[in-house]
Structure 1
Amino acid sequence: MKNPYLILILLVTLVSCKSPEARMPESVKSGSFLKESAERNKKLNALEHKMIESIMESNPDKDYIASENGFWYFYTNKVESDSLKPVFGDVIDFDFNVSNLKGSEIYASENKTYVMDKEELFTGLREGLKLMKPSESVTFIFPSQIAYGYYGDENKIGTNVPLICEVTLNNINKNND
């Protein structure tokens, strides 16, 4: 062994020239989580629809309307003459209160100014406001998936809570753009 450093350098060079090997995954996802989640959501949706149907059956004097967006509503005060409804960019002023399906109030009557489709508002209420005319009052029943859904509002509304919202549209300021 004339030069041990030369042999060591030659050995390290040979070992370091090896091509990298692909690592195998530790576990393989089968997609079962998504299937289970979809099944849970279907069951939750069916349960909420039964609860909403029982509310509607217990109030036969109300004329409930099913919207194409997946919620139900009835007019407390309907305006027949005016055809003005809010559209994208209009600034609206409305009052609303929020309760759960048992009627327990979550948020008391609150006045809100909102720019249609340009500010944050949960899906159901945003679509419900588009159906209203100035000075109309409507009671909406929203399943949880178009209310605050899985996350809630991170304040008073919890996970997967269907809501009843009583809304009065006070004013529409048309966008002139």
Structure 2
Amino acid sequence: MRKLYYLLLLALITQCGVPEARKPIKVKTGSILKESVERNKTLLKQEEEQIRKIIAADSNNTYLASGGGTWYHYINKNNESNYYPQPDDLVTMQYNIISLDNDTIYSQQEIGTITYKVDKQQLFPGLRNSVKLLKEGERATFLIPSSLAYGYHGDKNKIGTNLPVKTTITIIKIDKSQN
């Protein structure tokens, strides 16, 4: 009887093997990511071309490149101040959002006057960067590609996907940070 148990135990041990690793069914190559990058590059190129045409057609204003991907021209310039908003400053401002075809999306009255703590509150990236280019009392119009506006999400209200925008920003007051 003991021999039977030993044989049975030996049979069980020899039947159990080391589990083999499963091979992946599908190897991901990142092609979706590559396609997305190419699609975004093409979209940005088209939007920049559209912005260049607007700039070329506007002979009344001199546009400046921000270095951050936007273009702007001054409406009111403050030559007496040399202070630009810094992180943690409180900026009181007004702005609007318009399509590149000059259709009003959000008027300055709809948005109202806001107080923004520089680099500490949520604004779309193009607006966040644009505020830092203006001094107190200045007003400028910015042309912003969709990647720096509301991107492929839009604002889930009036701004659709991949919509480049125009915004006119007025800096009313800059309260310097106490730090």
TM-score (structure 2 length as normaliser)? 0.89
Partner of 2:161: 159
Superposed CA offset, 1:81-115 (max 9, x none): 11121100001110000011111111111221111
Report the Cα distance in structure 2 between the residues aligned to 1:113 and 1:94, rounded to whole angstroms: 6
Residue 55 of structure 1 and its aligned partner are, at CA, apart by 0.9
Letter in 2 for 1:163: V
Q: Where in structure 2 are the equivalents of 1:1-177 lying within 5 Å?
A: 14-15=14-15, 17-109=16-108, 110=111, 111-177=113-179
Residue 34 of structure 1 and its aligned partner are, at CA, apart by 2.2
Do the aligned partners of residues 147 and 8 (structure 1) sit closer, same or farther apart at CA in structure 2, a change above 3 Å counting? Answer: farther
- Please give the secondary structure, in 2, of the residue aligned with 1:95: strand
Residue 61 of structure 1 and its aligned partner are, at CA, apart by 0.8
Instruction: Using the aligned pairs only, state the percent identity.
Output: 43
Residue 133 of structure 1 and its aligned partner are, at CA, apart by 0.8
What is the RMSD computed on CA atoms of the aligned residues? 2.1
Report the Cα distance in structure 1 between the residues aligned to 2:102 and 2:8, rounded to whole angstroms: 81
Residue 149 of structure 1 and its aligned partner are, at CA, apart by 1.2
Report the Cα distance in structure 2 between the residues aligned to 1:155 and 1:6, rounded to whole angstroms: 75
Report the Cα distance in structure 2 between the residues aligned to 1:99 and 1:55, rounded to whole angstroms: 14
Report the Cα distance in structure 2 between the residues aligned to 1:112 and 1:67, rounded to whole angstroms: 23
Residue 154 of structure 1 and its aligned partner are, at CA, apart by 2.2
- Please give the secondary structure, in 2, of the residue aligned with 1:170: strand
- Please give the secondary structure, in 1, of the residue aligned with 2:159: coil
Report the Cα distance in structure 2 between the residues aligned to 1:104 and 1:59, rounded to whole angstroms: 17
Report the Cα distance in structure 2 between the residues aligned to 1:25 and 1:76, rounded to whole angstroms: 60
Residue 35 of structure 1 and its aligned partner are, at CA, apart by 2.0
Do the aligned partners of residues 21 and 76 (structure 1) sit closer, same or farther apart at CA in structure 2, a change above 3 Å counting? Answer: same
- Please give the secondary structure, in 2, of the residue aligned with 1:47: helix
Residue 23 of structure 1 and its aligned partner are, at CA, apart by 1.4
Report the Cα distance in structure 1 between the residues aligned to 2:131 and 2:122, rounded to whole angstroms: 13
The gaps in structure 2 that reach 5 residues or longer are none
